[in-house]
Amino acid sequence: MEIKSIEHKRIKRINVSQVSEEDDNLAIEEPLEIKLEYSSQKNSTEQVVSVTMRTPGNDEELALGFLFTEGIIKHVSQVKETKVLAVENKVLVRLQENTLPILQKIERNFYTTSSCGVCGKTSIDAIKTVSAYQTKADQICLQPALLYGLASALENHQSLFKKTGGLHASALFDIEGNFLFLQEDVGRHNALDKVIGAAFLQQALPLDKNILMLSGRASFELIQKAMMAGIKIVAAVGAPSSLAVQLAEDSDITLIGFLRNKGFNIYSGEKRILI
């Protein structure tokens, strides 16, 4: 079945000299219900853990990336089956028998918008997660020039953004600056969950020898997801928030903002950049 990420719309385009009718491309935004099924010796439970607004496509990666970065599951071996019901906008993740998810801190109202991945949580404690890779040491040391081309490489690979102008992207590069892959979505947190979910499925975590490139700003939730995946370097086209910088400092993450072809700002972890 073909997954549609773009919808065509007839619009009126207006400028100072004329009014014309043209076809335009819209990024599709639809809800995705993420359900967990798990069992013990006594009973079986099926539970909705989130409904998020996303761009259809890579729904399995999105669901698994979300469950991992929220700290609900820890390893792909805990997953028995992932059933994607694309027509119904649902993903069911079945865990292995006697594998219980960690749901104590999720405390969601079950709904998140495409712009906010933490706004459905009901307490400050619920937004805190702990990474198994946080204390993993590294010897990464990069030349500034290696970073200059990342923003252009990201843009060149954003095929859906070129058609719609309405999608965020998260991309992985190796520490030599080579492009690996990216995911696009109307929600910046969804794009990153799709990237981390793909690595989770491939048993490629931690991503401690990769650079994460973000197409927009660096928010707290994106740094937290990067931390959960063991990422040590996060670069963003836009600005970081104050809480993102604080979390990057606390988690020993190198955080770079306003990355352009000839410069950038370092907000934390400057030890990994040769300056």
CA-wise closest residue to 221 among 131, 130, 127, 113? 127
- Taking CB atoms within 8 Å and a gap of at least 24, the contacts of 36-43 are 36/67, 36/72, 36/92, 36/93, 36/95, 36/101, 37/92, 37/93, 37/94, 37/95, 38/94, 38/95, 38/99, 38/100, 38/101, 39/95, 39/97, 39/98, 40/98, 40/100, 41/98
Q: Which of 92, 103, 116, 153 is catalytic?
A: 116
Is 116 marked active-site? yes
**Distance (Å, rounded) from C-alpha 56 to C-alpha 30?**
7
Residues present in the chain in total: 275
**Distance (Å, rounded) from C-alpha 253 to C-alpha 272?**
9
- Give catalytic residue positions: 116
